[in-house]
Structure 1
């Protein structure tokens, strides 16, 4: 620690000969998480047993500001305890650059940011950090922001390659080849309104082995209304365009309402619809909505049966009706959230039977707690159980009659290890 401080002071001392206003903040995150998985993400297959493991995120964040220039560098390592031997000479995952960007403020209203960065907007349903995942999510992009009072317009572009090639080669990374977006947000009185236009292009090879890029458009709005007692939001998104030469036609809508009964107790209810495709639909049109880069763990139940890690994509869609109860007292926070899941499209058994199944997929109960142990240390945990149906078993496989549950405990330590301002 002393060496880090000395090196930082020497470097900044040299810079300060030319620049007056400077700030440097260095902070650390250590976040181990224990999980017991017994039907997590999918129903536990017949004859299989659950498992447990401990994963960990370790991050080092450097935040530097010099007049109109802001720079951020975040290094991280993600690991599972025991994934290398105690005498290993190299780490399995190594150290990755999670964020590395520079931002220049041209005026008080205009700024531009380039490099590896988090793209997070509104409730993170379409673009989010995915912070629950130990690796989280960031993009290589250029963004320009116009932010006058009570308004903000962000424009972003990205273009990806897997190497510094000398001629055209296939892009083999499971990611978009190109991406452009525009996000606008404004507030007036107690209402907030956002508009999002997102264009994502994915590369594929046609029948002649020619590399092509198909573009899919995601567009929609997110509205909020907040008072001292009421917190509500509405959203609606559509998807069109093409994906691997297939037409896309999908949509998503959601509504959430929360009321503060007391200063400590809140109750809310919500509903979300993500379009899907009938299992007996033989058309090539993609009718299943894809949340793309959203923080999907925060939606549709914490057991991640739907949309997390690509699960449930191009399927029968989802209806999610839920209730949420929050209670906080002193340093404690508690939440209880039951979900009722239904398919958004018809689930039909294969021919010759061709029988339409019940749309009910199951009920999930999520219970969580958080405790602010002391400054820079937060303890959190939870327990979830899925009561799956035969229809869920038909779609995802596994054994619905088995006890499918999940429990976790996480400690997040976030100390500031160095701060300097001139």
Structure 2
């Protein structure tokens, strides 16, 4: 990996020394993003007496892009770490779990069609890349997490005026096997492979059809992912065997502005077998309306619904795949964030507001009311209940200049005993008031920008 870094730095210097014509083809950008957090029940409720956590995490990226005739090339090298995880001198024994250096992106985008056709194009993008579509509910960059998310995939893209057709496919293996194609999908390290705390897919295919409108867009998605089958012994040890379980997710997305009213809606259905081999029939419905009272202030309500429960051997728990749940289900990340939540489904009623005080300062606020989609009977709570609690989210973003921004936020969760019960979060002697605060500095310089 050190040789890789050295070669990349050398390449940067070589490219920087080339002619002005080369500068028109080459982009080199960087990112340094630090985030200091105070966690007093963020992610899950604390037991009474538990101490809050505080730390600073850092993402560092070096991004290189190059364009030439019929070809675009992208490379992103990323390091993610917590301040203090390594000692202050050279550390030759860093634990593997602390090694945050990885290749975030490495792809080539080839124009297959004739460049003379200006309104139509057929391209092949292949390699490690970010998949981000629509509002990132099911396929997203997961940019809030310092490590983000990217996929090893081949993507065939056809563009014709306002229409776009994307066909993607991926096949994963742990290593170059001599024989067989068994795939150990156990999540590596402390990170889960998908949004809902599940295992990594063995293979994935999807079709995306999008239509741009004057003030919005609409789309259709069909995604299939397969998981390597396994057996489990009486102590829970997995043994991977031949064959896969296949899951399908399909549905529609719509976003458009009608004068000052903005409407976003989506509906998705999931079927097949989930990653544990259980029969699946689940759905997600979402509607959000937002009204621009002025150029500076907007406000609007929304509702999200994911199914839950079981019918015989069939589960109705919806899995939000490879999306960005931090954007939707509260900044406290209690639902669908790297944890297998969702067996009873979720109802999220919310109200969001945004106030842009100037070209540099944006303030955001949201109130969420979270309920179970199914009535829950718990030995910890009398009777059947649905109320999980409410959350308040506040944040502000200040853009100092094009390359430097500051962001701060505070969230509070007013939990109920049902959320802490053994049936849901399973927290003994819970503190039903949780807090979270953060301060983030994001620096994204253009390393080839030469201006006085």
Q: TM-score, normalised on structure 2? A: 0.85
Counterpart in the other structure of 1:248:
280
Distance 2:30 2:13 in 1: 17
2:156–2:166 contact (8 Å) kept in structure 1: yes
Counterpart in the other structure of 1:181:
206
1:221-232 equivalences in 2 (<5 Å):
221-232=252-263
- What is the SS of the residue equivalent to 1:133? coil
Provide the alpha-carbon RMSD of the alignment.
2.3
CA deviation after TM superposition for structure 1 residue 57, in Å: 0.2
Distance 1:224 1:95 in 2: 37
1:237-265 Cα deviation digits (max 9, x unpaired): 00000123321010000000001001100
1:5–1:418 contact (8 Å) kept in structure 2: no
Gaps of 5+ in 2: 1-7, 114-119, 188-199, 233-238
1:141-173 Cα deviation digits (max 9, x unpaired): 000001111110100000000000001263123
Asked if residue 393 in structure 1 is aligned to residue 420 in structure 2, the reply is yes
1:56-95 equivalences in 2 (<5 Å):
56-90=58-92, 92-95=98-101
- What is the SS of the residue equivalent to 2:400? strand
Counterpart in the other structure of 2:193:
none
Distance 1:43 1:226 in 2: 38
Counterpart in the other structure of 1:404:
434
CA deviation after TM superposition for structure 1 residue 386, in Å: 0.3
Asked if residue 275 in structure 1 is aligned to residue 285 in structure 2, the reply is no
CA deviation after TM superposition for structure 1 residue 212, in Å: 1.7
Task: Name the CA shift for 1:357/1:26 in 2 (closer, same or farther; >3 Å).
Answer: same
CA deviation after TM superposition for structure 1 residue 189, in Å: 4.3
Counterpart in the other structure of 2:126:
114
1:240–1:250 contact (8 Å) kept in structure 2: yes
Task: Name the CA shift for 1:312/1:150 in 2 (closer, same or farther; >3 Å).
Answer: same
Counterpart in the other structure of 2:111:
105
1:107-127 Cα deviation digits (max 9, x unpaired): 241101000000010110100
Counterpart in the other structure of 1:50:
52
Distance 1:325 1:242 in 2: 39
2:284–2:304 contact (8 Å) kept in structure 1: yes
Counterpart in the other structure of 1:204:
229
Asked if residue 378 in structure 1 is aligned to residue 405 in structure 2, the reply is yes
RCO higher in structure (CA 8 A, sep ≥6): 1
Distance 2:314 2:340 in 1: 19
Distance 1:199 1:389 in 2: 37
Number of aligned residue pairs: 408
Distance 1:202 1:62 in 2: 33
Asked if residue 365 in structure 1 is aligned to residue 380 in structure 2, the reply is no
Judge which range, 154-163 or 91-100, deviates more.
91-100
Distance 1:373 1:21 in 2: 27
1:24-75 Cα deviation digits (max 9, x unpaired): 0000100000000000011112321111010000000001001210000000
Distance 1:51 1:22 in 2: 47
Gaps of 5+ in 1: none
1:201–1:216 contact (8 Å) kept in structure 2: yes
Of 3, 8, 31, the residue aligned with 2:15 is: 8
Q: TM-score, normalised on structure 1? A: 0.91
1:305–1:311 contact (8 Å) kept in structure 2: no
Task: Name the CA shift for 1:2/1:256 in 2 (closer, same or farther; >3 Å).
Answer: closer
Judge which range, 197-206 or 28-37, deviates more.
197-206
Asked if residue 263 in structure 1 is aligned to residue 280 in structure 2, the reply is no
2:182–2:241 contact (8 Å) kept in structure 1: no
CA deviation after TM superposition for structure 1 residue 276, in Å: 1.1
CA deviation after TM superposition for structure 1 residue 403, in Å: 2.9
Counterpart in the other structure of 2:348:
320
Distance 1:209 1:171 in 2: 7
CA deviation after TM superposition for structure 1 residue 206, in Å: 4.3
2:207–2:221 contact (8 Å) kept in structure 1: yes
- What is the SS of the residue equivalent to 2:86? coil
- What is the SS of the residue equivalent to 2:448? strand
